[in-house]
Amino acid sequence: MHSYFQILEDSDSNKRQIAPEIIWRLGSEILYYHPKSNVETFNTFADRMKNIGVMNYLKISLQHALYLLHHGMLEDANRNLSQAETWRYGEKSSSQEVLINLIQAYKGLLQYYIWSKKKMELSQLDEDDYAYNTASQNMLNHSWKTSINLCALIQIPGVWDPFVKSYVEMLEFYGDQDGAREVLTNYAYDEKFPSNPNAHIYLYNFLKREKAPREKLISVLKILYQIVPSHKLMLEFHRLLRKSENEEHHKLGLEVLFGVLDFAGCTKNITAWKYLAKYLRQTLMGSHLAWVQEEWNSRKNWWPSFHFSYFRAKSDWKEDKALACEKALVAGLLLGKDCRYFRNISKQDHQVLKKKIKQMKKSVKKYSIVNPGL
Amino acid sequence: MDFPSSLPPSLFTTGPLGLSDVPDVSFMCSWRDALTLPESLPQGPENAAPHVAKGLLWEPDTPGPLPLLPPGPDPWDPGVTAQDLLFRGGYQFRRQPQAVLDVTEQVSGPTVRSATRPGLCLVTWPPFLLQLSRFLWDHGDIAFAPLGKLMLENFKLEGARGRSKKKTVVSVKRLLQDLGGHQPWGCPWAYLSHRQRRFSILGGPILSTSVASLLGELLHEELALRWEQLLLDDAFTGGALAWVPGRTPRAGQLVYPAGGALDRLYFQKVSLTPGSEPRVLGGPGHIRLRGPVRQVVTHTVQGEALLAVRSDYHCALWKVSKQGQPAPLQVLQVEKGATGISLSPHLPGELAICSRSGAICLWNPQDGLRQIYKDPETLVFRDPSPWRWADFTAHPRVLTVGDRTGVKMVDTQGPPGCGLLLFRGGAEASCQKGERVLLTQYLGECGPECLHPTLHLICTQFSLYLVDERLPLVPLLKWNHGLPSAPLLARLLPPPRTGLPRPLLLAGQGGELQLLHVAGEGASTPRLAGPPQSLPSRSDSLSAFPLLEPKSQWRLQERLKAPAIGLAAAIPPSASTPVLSLFQLSAAGDVFHQRLHLQGEPGPDSPAPTASWTPQATASCSRWLKALLEVPPAPPVWAAPTFSHRRLLGCFEPQKAEGKAPEGLRTAMAKGRLLQPRDLGLLPTEERAPAPEPGPEDELSERLEAAWEGQAAAWWERRRGSGSGPGKQPKRHKRRTQLSSTFSSLSGRLDLSDAASPPPSPERTLPEARPQPPVTPPAQESTQELWARGVPSERQQTLRDYMAELPLRGDAPGAASVPSSQASSVRATPSRQRAAVRPGSQPHWKKPRMGF
């Protein structure tokens, strides 16, 4: 394509249709990054591009609004979205519908911002003030509009984290707990949606705020554990499982800790190691050797070189002595006192950690799953 | 690990493309991903998302990359091009080839790059038959020899009953000798043996069908394969250049293949200094391998630098010591051909190998080789490509397995075959029609946790995707890279400074480079930061080289345009502005280097400084170019047969000729290039007198007759006593014209060699002596009669050939010193005796008699 006018003459209708899209993409990209461009130029460009053909109006309007939003021009963005919302071309096709839903949702998000600003103002006002009443009235109005805008989109499969989050916050504020729960449950468990970890996290956080029973929390986190075993909520999950009376849960608690430490991004998570060292000792004391062995069997051929190598012992000791001690205890329990990591750390001479190392040696001697006699 | 607290909104549709008309909501604008939605009001959208990323620009020091190492001693041949394969005759077949992967799907569809159907003229018959007939003609030895070999020593062709056995039984050995480059007259077309002729008459009916069909099939297959390779050569996916960090952060080693066949793995120590160009320390060490190196991967795991190399059928693993010495660990053979190799960033020495058969194997020092996955079919939909790829993930026991249609996560400990799709080439990622996965790469491997260690980069011919393995199927980022060639190389670099996003380099096969920045750590989503940048490619460096004569210029251009097969980069620590050292490896084995520095915060009005060539840069380019031009150009794979002058070259050897001219001639002949006056150390010579008229001719016919009877030497001995100078000159002239008319290419050289002779030959400036088309000039028709007198007309051709043979040797430097007849000098000079009895000259001129 050499010029836009040339492409208008093109006999290929596909090319003719694609051309505005390409021009928009390149143009907007240049205008976004160019040091000398400003909002006015962008506005002019966007307004022009919107009206070339009919296929791109909604898409460009939406992106234009996003640009304005990014530049802090909320009102302009809102006006833009309102205009786009009412735009129709021909018969309503499903693609148009989705785009209009998206535009409405963004509009809802904008209204949420305004609402949350008002909420802030309200929290600073005196309840007996006259202004309080009008402000709260205003908020109610906004909330009603927003919920209409948001709820249509979040029925469509997709990732709608910001919309769901703000919608739930508003519902919660107005005391519609059941509505909020329904939205979140649907977002998390609807099979047509992608397995979004955030959906489960939002639900969990909501239930936690609601002070839901532990069983309920565990069941939510169990699913999250299956999707993202490396998530930081897993440590919280472990704590919940540990506190539970159910024996199965205790076993799962151990599994969760091992699972977290499998991941490359979690190798230096001192809390996880601390939990594992403590829980491992506890499990072995409670004579659940089988649980430990079950977990260890699938890891015994790679954990030693992954976590407990000589290199790791040296670097861990250099970087974080507390972490090295926790890891050494785990290494000793799992691999016996002849393990290189354990030997290396227990050899270290350190004033403060002396007592800890001594304790560690004792535990290893007593509980290690490796029986030196055999 | 943190998970982004709020993911960017995106629509989720499942299934193959084109089932629903749901719009593509990922608008493919890089800036759209740079937008961060204001999370909550307390910060306010006004002061959220500070524009740190906007000034993130890397400024190249020079307008293009510079050669880092001198060119290798081996010539480089760019290989088959699309033009070579496409039939050039018919207009309708002259289509521009396009780098698309899938031919069948590209035919229609409203894609952004609406692709035309690539010119698959291979399947259309008329041009193919033409090609085949040309092939049979040009490569007779290849086409017919195997069949002959199958038919053993002798074979009988049942001819008519009346024919004698002598005429129907043909010795294949002799026939092969005739076909296999055995050039009795120095030119394969100058002479067609009677045997060949007989064979072709007898075997014609059989050979014309069986050979054509057999060969046609094979040729068609080969052409299709070559065409596929031209569309996408995925052998170098991943790149064959690696930067192995050394003991200090500023020193390291470049590991790359070089040599004509790319079968030598070089280890070149390089020291990076922030202020100047990198210094090459000492000569490179090298290891010779048994096949071309396709991919070089390096990783430093727990302080151990490992190097994995993939060749076509072998994979090898080395451990690089702190001093930089490689020690071999393991060599693995891949029977069906390896397509990818990757090193584990978690466990030292563990590597994954992909085979064309669809199998993925894991090797580690403890357990050895283990097959973890095998599926000859592709993941999402059927695709003919046997390309497979594997990489590691954040979990050391989980691997990604990729093919052209998608990427799957496979647990090596779980039951075989199961896994979760990470990426699907379909509606989930809102792919385009014909979009195929070209490269997948795990991005979480570089130590410092400033990016999510669960990110994977997936490149297709249109777009780039960032996928988080915790949220499969939904790309967190999609960006249209717009590279004109397939992006087969990508490198994620550590952040140049703490707090800055990480640079991501993307290189297309054609040498185009792009630099992006990936930001987003902790609770924020990964996104592109800063404007995407296009970096200068090797062909941009052409202006740094001095202007050359067209042929050399073209050669240089071709060399600079060689496909990119390797990419490596390093950011040495520096106090001031961060500097990025970028290394590129081309298919010609050249390593180019470019330095980029991070631009400081530019004011909105300050113009960006433009890089220019420094004198050092142009000097180094000139040096490199000089070395390049000294490398002889690659001999063409096949060219129309010419004189086998090497055979003639042998005749010169024993001759101890004086002067610079013969030397110059010999070197020019050995190199097969044009002889120029400066090679002979000659100054422009003055005008010469025109050639005298042809003298008495009976002497010549006398001699020829003697020669015909095989007594040329005796005749010469007889003549020697009475031989006189001036009488010989005209004959020489005639022979020369004959020669020049038949074999044009050599006459020019001969002419110049004459010019070097101490007694100036009078015909030096004759127009006939210049290169001419092989058409007999009219002037020759008359002279021909003179020396062909008494020879039967059918033998004249043979005679002419013989004549052509003689002066060739006669015009040799030796002749220059002897002003008498050159033809006779050949036989007379004692040192020539070996040449005189050489088989192929004396016995052969007799042979044609049998043919007539």
Is pLDDT at B236 greater than 80 in this prediction? yes
Task: Give CA–CA dist B10/B4, Å, rounded.
Answer: 15
pLDDT of amino acid A245? 87
Q: Which of residues 341-380 of B touch A (CB under 8 A)?
A: 345-348, 366-367
List C-alpha distances in Å: B406 to A214, B105, B437, B490: 40, 17, 7, 18
User: Is A35 in Cβ contact with B471 (below 8 Å)?
Assistant: no
Q: Find the mean pLDDT for residues B329-352.
A: 91
Q: Please indicate whether residue B85 or residue B551 has the higher confidence score (pLDDT).
A: B551
**pTM of structure:** 0.73
Q: Which of residues 477-536 of B touch A (CB under 8 A)?
A: 480, 530-531
Percent of chain A with pLDDT over 70: 90
Three-state secondary structure of B762-831: HHHHCHHHCCCCCCCCHHHHHHHHHHCCCCCHHHHHHHHHHHHHHHHHHCCHHHHHCCCCHHHHHHHCHH
Q: Find the mean pLDDT for residues B40-48.
A: 36
* A340-347 and A354-367 helices, crossing angle to 10°: 150
Q: Please indicate whether residue B617 or residue B676 has the higher confidence score (pLDDT).
A: B617
Chain A residues within 8 A of B12 when measuring between CB atoms: 157-159, 192-194
**Residue from A166, A172, A136 nearest A151 by CA:** A166
Over residues A258-288, the pLDDT tens digits come to 999 999 888 888 999 999 999 998 888 888 8
Task: Determine how many CB atoms are found less than 10 A away from the CB of residue B73.
Answer: 12
In whole numbers, what is the pLDDT of chain A averaged over residues?
Answer: 84
- Inter-residue contact B584 to B564 (CB < 8 Å): yes
pLDDT of amino acid B741? 42
Chain A residues within 8 A of B453 when measuring between CB atoms: 263-265
User: Is A18 in Cβ contact with B112 (below 8 Å)?
Assistant: yes
Q: Please indicate whether residue A71 or residue A333 has the higher confidence score (pLDDT).
A: A333
Sheet holding B398-402, edge to edge: B389-392, B398-402, B406-411, B420-424
**Which of A50-64, B203-217, B309-323, B485-499 is the least confident region?**
B203-217
Q: Which of residues 71-90 of A touch B (CB under 8 A)?
A: 72, 74
Chain B contact for A26 (CB, 8 A cutoff): no
In sequence order, the 6+-apart residues with CB closer than 8 A to the CB of B113 are B462
Task: Give CA–CA dist B536/B514, Å, rounded.
Answer: 9
Give residue B169's pLDDT band: very low, low, confident or very high (50, 70, 90). low
pLDDT of amino acid A222? 93
Over residues A209-253, the pLDDT tens digits come to 989 899 999 999 999 999 999 998 999 999 999 998 888 999 999
User: Is A265 in Cβ contact with B36 (below 8 Å)?
Assistant: no
Is pLDDT at A296 greater than 70 in this prediction? yes
Buried/exposed code over A55-75 (b: 16+ C-beta within 10 A; e: otherwise): bbbbbbbbbbbbbbbbbbbbe
Sign of the alpha-carbon dihedral angle for A50, A55, A56, A61? positive
**Which of A109-113, A276-280, B133-137 is the least confident region?**
B133-137
Q: Which residues pair with B370 in a beta bridge?
A: B362
User: Is B396 in Cβ contact with A264 (below 8 Å)?
Assistant: yes
Chain A residues within 8 A of B42 when measuring between CB atoms: 120
Q: Please indicate whether residue B355 or residue B679 has the higher confidence score (pLDDT).
A: B355
Task: Give CA–CA dist B422/B470, Å, rounded.
Answer: 9
Terminal-residue alpha carbon distance, chain A: 78
Q: Find the mean pLDDT for residues B708-724.
A: 72
Element (H, E) at A200: helix A197-209
pLDDT of amino acid B733? 47
Chain B residues within 8 A of A192 when measuring between CB atoms: 12
- In the numeric block, which tokens belong to residue B661? 């001219």
Q: Find the mean pLDDT for residues B710-715.
A: 76
Over residues A120-129, the pLDDT tens digits come to 877 777 666 6
- Inter-residue contact B57 to B533 (CB < 8 Å): yes
User: Is B12 in Cβ contact with A193 (below 8 Å)?
Assistant: yes
One-letter amino acid at B842 equals Q
Chain B residues within 8 A of A32 when measuring between CB atoms: 29, 31, 34
Q: Please indicate whether residue B253 or residue B169 has the higher confidence score (pLDDT).
A: B253
pLDDT of amino acid B42? 34
- In the numeric block, which tokens belong to residue A144? 């009603």
Nearest CB to B29 within list A18, A29, A192: A29
Is pLDDT at B150 greater than 50 in this prediction? yes
* Nearest chain B Cα distance for residue A315, angstroms: 9
User: Is A195 in Cβ contact with B471 (below 8 Å)?
Assistant: yes
Helices (H), B151-296: 165-168, 172-179, 194-231
Is pLDDT at B274 greater than 90 in this prediction? no
Q: Which of residues 125-184 of A touch B (CB under 8 A)?
A: 156-163, 165
Task: Determine how many CB atoms are found less than 10 A away from the CB of residue B714.
Answer: 13
One-letter amino acid at A73 equals M
- Inter-residue contact B755 to B685 (CB < 8 Å): yes
pLDDT of amino acid B170? 66
Element (H, E) at A374: none
Length of chain A: 374
Task: Give CA–CA dist A183/A164, Å, rounded.
Answer: 8
User: Is B112 in Cβ contact with A66 (below 8 Å)?
Assistant: no
Q: Which 8-state DSSP code applies to residue A145? A: H
Q: Please indicate whether residue A353 or residue A193 has the higher confidence score (pLDDT).
A: A193
Nearest CB to A159 within list B2, B453, B474: B474
Sign of the alpha-carbon dihedral angle for B220, B225, B228, B229? negative
Q: Please indicate whether residue B849 or residue B234 has the higher confidence score (pLDDT).
A: B234
Over residues B595-651, the pLDDT tens digits come to 998 886 555 445 556 778 888 889 999 999 999 888 877 666 555 444 445 555 555
Q: Find the mean pLDDT for residues B213-233.
A: 84
Among chain A residues, CA nearest to B452: A265
Give the CA-trace dihedral at B158, B161, B167, B173, to 10 degrees: 20
Over residues B726-738, the pLDDT tens digits come to 444 444 444 444 4
Residue to mutate among B14, B41, B116, B432, with most A CBs inside 10 A, is B41
3-state secondary structure of B497: coil
**Which of A71-80, B148-157, B842-851 is the least confident region?**
B842-851
pLDDT of amino acid B225? 86
Percent of chain B with pLDDT over 70: 59
Give residue B757's pLDDT band: very low, low, confident or very high (50, 70, 90). very low
- Say how far residue A203 (Cα) sits from the centre of its chain: 12
User: If you count DSSP H runs as helices and E runs as strands, how many of each does chain B have, helices first?
Assistant: 22, 33
- Inter-residue contact B589 to B259 (CB < 8 Å): yes
In whole numbers, what is the pLDDT of chain B averaged over residues?
Answer: 71
Give residue B87's pLDDT band: very low, low, confident or very high (50, 70, 90). low
Q: Find the mean pLDDT for residues B841-848.
A: 39
* Nearest chain B Cα distance for residue A293, angstroms: 16
Nearest CB to A14 within list B35, B110, B346: B110
- Say how far residue B493 (Cα) sits from the centre of its chain: 30
Is pLDDT at B719 greater than 80 in this prediction? no
Chain B contact for A122 (CB, 8 A cutoff): no
Over residues A131-174, the pLDDT tens digits come to 667 767 766 666 666 677 788 888 888 888 888 988 888 888 88
Over residues B362-416, the pLDDT tens digits come to 998 888 888 999 998 999 989 888 999 999 999 999 999 999 999 999 998 888 7
Is pLDDT at B553 greater than 70 in this prediction? yes
